């Protein structure tokens, strides 16, 4: 019963999160990204530095979910590619495997020797003078 309202809450938070990053103000002089609206559910006020090159705390969506009371926030947020997930699985497991089927098929086709066609005009070529 509680999973559906919780899922709706997470979807609403995701929409606000996307809007926060899409509609931010980029200050090129200070090399900062600043929130242009109040995002009350994300606990971010207008004018908060959300991205900078130094001296700031990076926002974490998982922490925001936990502050909103979402149970098992890890279920809704994918892990980073360095920690795990599909990208790491493909890099470590699938990329390391040798393509066995292709090599087998290639050897089978190489072994069958093709019968060459008879040369036209006895192999003398196409142009004759």
Distance CA 14, CA 19 (A): 9
Is 62 inside a domain boundary?
yes
This prediction has a pTM of 0.57
Distance CA 73, CA 51 (A): 23
Residues 61-75 have pLDDT tens digits of: 888 888 888 888 778
Q: How many domains does the chain have?
A: 1
Is 15 inside a domain boundary?
yes
> What DSSP designation does 27 have?
E
Is 119 inside a domain boundary?
no
Residues 70-92 have pLDDT tens digits of: 888 778 877 776 777 777 888 88
Give the residue among 62, 36, 40, 64 at the shortest CA–CA distance from 50. 36
Is 117 inside a domain boundary?
no
Is 102 inside a domain boundary?
no
Domain that holds residue 64: 3-89
Q: Token pair 């200070």 is at which residue?
A: 30
């Amino acid at each position: 019963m509680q999973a559906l309202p919780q899922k709706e809450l997470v979807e609403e938070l995701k929409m606000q999160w996307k809007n926060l990053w899409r509609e931010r103000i980029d200050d090129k002089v200070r090399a900062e990204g600043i929130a242009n609206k109040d995002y009350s559910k994300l606990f971010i006020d207008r004018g908060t530095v959300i991205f900078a090159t130094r001296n700031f705390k990076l926002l974490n969506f998982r922490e925001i979910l936990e502050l909103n009371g979402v149970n098992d926030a890890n279920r809704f947020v994918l892990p980073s590619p360095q920690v795990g997930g599909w990208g790491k699985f493909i890099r470590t497991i699938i990329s390391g495997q040798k393509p066995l089927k292709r090599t087998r098929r290639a050897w089978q086709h190489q072994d069958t020797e093709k019968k060459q066609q008879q040369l036209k005009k006895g192999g003398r070529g196409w142009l004759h003078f």
